[in-house]
Structure 1
Amino acid sequence: MANMSGQPIFILAEGTQRTRGRDAQGNNIMAAKAVADAVRTTLGPKGMDKMLVDSMGDVVITNDGATILKEMDIEHPAAKMIVEVAKTQDDEVGDGTTTASILAGELLKKAEDLMDMGIHQTIISSGYREAAKKSADILKTITIDVSEDDTQTLEKIASTAITGKGAESHKEKLAKLTVEAVRAVAEKTDSGIKVDVDDIKIEKRAGGSIRDSELINGIVIDKEKVHPSMPDHVKDAKILLLSQAIELKKTEVDAEIKITSPDQMQMFLDQEEKMIKDMVGKIISSGANVVFCQKGIDDLAQYYLQKEGIYALRRVKTSDLEKLSKATGAKILQDINEISESDLGSAGRVEEKNISGTKMTFVIDCPSPKAVSIVLHGGTEHVVESLDRALHDALRVVGVALEDGQIVAGGGSPEIELSLRLSEYASSLKGREQLAVSKFAEALEVVPKTLAENAGLDPIDTMVEMKSQHEKGNKKAGLDVYTGKVVDMWENNVVEPLRTKTQAINAATEAAVMILRIDDVIASSGRGGGGGGMPEMPEDM
């Protein structure tokens, strides 16, 4: 609202809510901290789980930060920014989502203390950015190199990611599957190793034990053969991938055919049959004995295919066709008339198996697969879903570790080392940025402190012991939450990719800085910025 010559001028729509200055900042920081606190108890191997029930009544039980924040119906705009931090962390690394979220919340909490001291947000932002940049340099001094052939270390990375996600009793088995799968799809390029975990297909099946889970050097398709008389398995498979239907095309415009005699009707049917027979004939002459079709297969075509002993699937998803192409070396063809022998892929065996009451097609023993599958078993649907999330995290972190070739010890040891070194760095700075860097160092302590709290340990005693070990030069000293002792985390097999830490610090810093710089919130009618259990913005006009 503006005021000219005593006449009020309204520039915002009626019902618009506006919050300014410290009120806006206070509301935003409170909302962001509330989100961070919501996932704080899930951090670490001793972290608790959350049960989330959506509007449809579907239940999700997890301690994965990204999943929790995604399932929560959060409306506050500042709170959504913390959700974005977790989402970005999940996309970039796959693990460390809770760490990134609680770090963002703690940075804002420390910023609030500085603002109460009269320090401007711009100075705090500048100090935080400087501290994040320095953190990256400090982290490089405590990294350990890892190579593609070091399967033992890669399995340790996978085990660390799986720990605390409901699969501890079988983490060795899952870690082994993870490393084998990632190494199978890893590609060497001029710029280094590239890993696309989308090339690893996970098929979930409730029933059986986690021990029954297996890696398939090929692709598993959740479909059965189109005709019961087709062979159950095909050895030395020559595979054809089609995105075109094996059936007659319908005309694009309405057409009418007048038939005046039974002979004409028979000729019409004979012609249709001949056209389908010609289509199948082209498939047979190419030498293919297995066909995966993205679209439909006519009943008559199914009959001719099964007569020739050809195994066929229809309505195969585009993503599965692409994975089959990578696994078998086959090209995805759009026109049956263009089939040649060189377009076919190969596999040692294609067979139909009954898995937990569902018939599935296995494409096995591919010569050099660039896409593989993991069949994941668990006692119940919820267990399998939990395993799937744990495996997703493990696959991502192992892939990231291979791409970067650098890892760090876990258990809160990098955060303590960063906190100590940043405190030293802060004392070398001039001006008020020194205070912001010092608070940034304090904020990093939230990770080991939370690990201790979630394990039922005294956080103050733990922090004192960890700092003491690091001051003595033991840079890998972290908290063993099972024994409550401060030990060498490298020897304790707790390791994480370097990118987990750098991404968490950068994402948390950027989100905190963005929230700090907001001093005016204008929300249209009905969007007060509250909701989802978050504080509402009061009217300021």
Structure 2
Amino acid sequence: MAERKPVFVMDEDVERTKGKDAQSNNIEAAKAVGETIKTTLGPSGMDKMLVNSTGNVIVTNDGSTILGEMDIDHPAAKMIVEVSETQDEEVGDGTTTAVLLTSKLLSKAEDMLDQDIHPTIIAEGYREAEEKSMEILDEMKQDITIADDKEILRNVAKTAMTGKGVIGDKDILAKTAVDAVTYVTKETEDGYNAKLDNIKMETKTGANISDTQLIEGMVIDKDKPHPEMPDKIENTKIAVLDTEIEVGETETDAEVTIDSPGQRQKFLEREEKQLKEKVEKINETGANVVFCEEAIDDVAQQYLVNKGIHALKRVDESDINKIAKATGASVVSNINELTEDDLGEAETVREEALAGDKVTYIEGCKELKALTVLLRGGTEQLVEEAERTLDDAIDVVATAINDGDTIAGGGAPEAELSLKLRDYAATIGGREQIAIEAFADALESIPLTLAENAGLDPMDTLVNLKKQHEEDNQNAGIDGYEEKITDMTEKGVLEPIKIKKQAMKSATEATEMVLRIDDVLSSKTTE
């Protein structure tokens, strides 16, 4: 009988980790991510300094920002980072909670794997615990309405700012967030709907955060390219272009040879004629303001001046789209196709000095209630952190308005869920009961971390917190400022319930995904 030759399915450079080794490796990576941002949780959380390859420095304790800036290679760790990204996209806050919960769920799963509990059983138990948690959270929620609960909304905004570097200005930023969101909120048949796309954030250094303003309209950080253009236009007709106002390039590569001054003059006259025709076309539509995403030729600028047209060039694409939406304009790519129907309207477009620079204000927009938050700060790093903080606050206030409910913070929901999940687990039996109890243990990691970061004894604090919940004080949580357990609703520490639900949902799904991996194949070389 002929000797069988070995069959090689994979390249010999492929590194392979199987079974429990693969699971353990992935879990350790996830736990490392959790440990990285653990100290940022809560009002006493610490900041991280992030320095990129170009030397740019970011100081923040925002979990999403920290993980987004880190150079993470491990595939399982990247999955945990995606949990943070999803949490940030869906609700704008709770990223650290989501990552910590994922890390702890996997840590507890590792203990169960050592007891020879199959990953499928663990995943099923976790899913069941998550579903039960959603039911319990719905029983704990507090309904709100935008018309009557402005103070509650400000507390929601302040809670989102907890532990941030600009916490000293939380009252100003909280009011700014609530005023901004309520301005762009409409009442519908199904409730309220906050349209955050209608809010534009503009930052300027050179003043204090207390100088932050809300401007009804849009502020574009650009000034007119020609000094003789009008500073102010009223009853505006606005053309929005995503093309340049320059001489068009030929479709084929061509070389123009000029042998005499006369030929050069004719060439220049032909270019000027093309530019003049473009400006004439804009003027014929009735436009008296032009916002252009690309360049505007110097000669074209003079023709615009002659027609009394105010213009901006090289406006960011995002601003171009916002201007079009706010004024009712159509974004036009070919000037020859521009018509009166493409124009937008606003009451006023004006240029004004701000912090030593010239900016453009668009006020009285036709189509929607556009709003600009003009955020001020003494330094670039301070204003960047204030922008991240205010952005989170705006997101959570909008979530609270859209969903119409809040829940206590400070670890209160996690403590209540942990208590009730243990009671629920006792009714299940079997190995799934162990997984549900492990889920309850993982939830306790949130108040434990809050206590630890506040300088309290974690275990003593948790024992006292659990006692409060056993006595039916479901809103009892950890006050990191006064370092004690108190009723968090009375302290005004409130969050949209969606933050908690999304964190548990994302953490459970990511944990299940990691647990189901028992074989990791990675190439050592790249071509």
Shorter-chain TM-score category?
Answer: over 0.9
Amino acid at match of 1:420: L
For the residue of structure 2 that corresponds to 1:216, the secondary structure is strand
CA distance in 1, matches of 2:224, 2:397: 35
The 1:227/1:466 distance shift into structure 2, 3 A limit, reads: same
Residue 42 (structure 1) aligned with residue 66 (structure 2): no
What is the Cα deviation at residue 293 of structure 1?
1.4
Is 1:179 aligned to residue 178 of structure 2?
Answer: yes
The 10-residue stretch of structure 1 (10-19 or 156-165) with the greater mean CA deviation from structure 2: 10-19
Determine if contact 1:192/1:403 at 8 Å carries over to the other structure. Answer: yes
Q: Is the 8 A contact 1:184 1:369 kept in 2?
A: no
Amino acid corresponding to residue 153 of structure 1 in structure 2 = I
Cα shift at 1:191: 5.8
Cα RMSD between the aligned structures? 2.5
1:302 pairs with 2:301: yes
8 Å CA contact 1:219–1:371 kept in 2: the answer is yes
Contact 1:218 1:372 in 2 (8 A): yes
Is the Cα–Cα contact under 8 Å of residues 326 and 370 in structure 1 kept in the other structure? no
Tell me if structure 1 keeps the 8 A contact 2:130–2:508: yes
For residue 411 of structure 1, what is the amino acid of its counterpart?
G
**Structure 2 match to 1:533:** none
SS at match of 1:217: strand
The CA distance in 2 between the partners of 1:415 and 1:408, in whole Å, is: 11
Partner of 1:225: 224
Q: In structure 1, how many angstroms separate the alpha carbons of the residues matched to 2:297 and 2:343? A: 22
1:79 to 74, 77, 80: 77
* Conserved? CA contact 1:327–1:372, under 8 Å: no
> Which residue of structure 2 lines up, in the alignment, with residue 120 of structure 1?
118
Change (3 A) 1:433 1:264: closer
Length-normalised TM-score, structure 2:
0.92
Unaligned ranges ≥5, structure 1: 528-541
Matches within 5 A, 1:419-438: 419-438=418-437
Q: For this pair of structures, how many residues does the alignment match?
A: 524
* Aligned twin of 2:448: 449
Does the CA-based 8 Å contact 1:145-1:405 persist in structure 2? yes
Counterparts of 1:159 and 1:476, CA distance in 2: 18
Between the aligned partners of 2:519 and 2:335, the Cα distance in structure 1 is 62
Matched residues in 1 for 2:428 and 2:248: separation?
A: 74
Match of residue 25 from structure 2: 27
Q: 1:259 to 1:106 in 2, by over 3 A?
A: closer
1:217 and 1:369 in contact (8 A); partners too: no
Matching residue of 1:95? 93
Q: Which residue of 2 aligns with 1:439?
A: 438
Determine helix, strand or coil for the equivalent of 1:202: strand
Query: Matches of 1:78 and 1:442 in 2, distance apart?
Result: 22
Deviates more, 1:194-203 or 1:398-407: 194-203
Q: Look up the match of 1:536.
A: none
CA deviations 1:302-338 (Å, max 9, x no partner) are 1122133321111222211111122222232334345
The answer to whether the aligner puts 1:501 opposite 2:507 as a matched pair is no
Residue from 116, 127, 132 that aligns with 1:134: 132
Match of 2:14 in 1: 16
- Structure 1 residue 249: deviation in Å? 2.3
Once residues 357 and 376 of structure 1 are traced to their aligned partners in structure 2, the CA distance between those partners, rounded to angstroms, is 15
Question: Which deviates more, 446-455 or 481-490?
Answer: 481-490
State TM-score, norm by structure 1: 0.90
Q: Partner of 1:432: helix, strand, or coil?
A: helix
Q: 1:341 offset after TM fit, Å? A: 4.3
Task: Read off the aligned partner of 1:484 and give its amino acid letter.
Answer: E
The 10-residue stretch of structure 1 (256-265 or 481-490) with the greater mean CA deviation from structure 2: 256-265
Equivalent residue letter for 1:141: E
For residue 521 of structure 1, report the CA deviation from its aligned partner.
1.8
- C-alpha separation in 2, matches of 1:203 and 1:377: 9
**Alpha-carbon distance between aligned partners in 1 of 2:397 and 2:387, rounded to the nearest angstrom:** 15
CA distance in 2, matches of 1:258, 1:433: 83
Match for residue 252 of structure 1? 251
Per the alignment, residue 359 of structure 2 pairs with 360
Aligned to 1:58: 56
Q: Which deviations, in whole Å up to 9, do the C-alpha atoms of 1:457-484 show, x marking residues without a partner?
A: 1122222222222222222111111112
Distance 1:7 1:353, change over 3 A: same
In structure 2, the partner of 1:394 is 393
CA distance in 2 between counterparts of 1:257 and 1:364 reads 47
Q: Partner residue of 2:233?
A: 234
Cα deviations across residues 84-130 of structure 1 (Å, max 9, x unaligned)? 11111111111101000110111111112222223222111110011
* Percent identity over paired residues: 53
Aligned to 1:539: none
Distance 2:253 2:20 in 1: 68
Partner of 2:481: 482
1:214 matches 2:213: yes
Q: Deviations over 1:27-69 (max 9, x none)?
A: 2111111111111000011100111122222211111111111
**In 1, Cα distance between the equivalents of 2:171 and 2:232?**
32
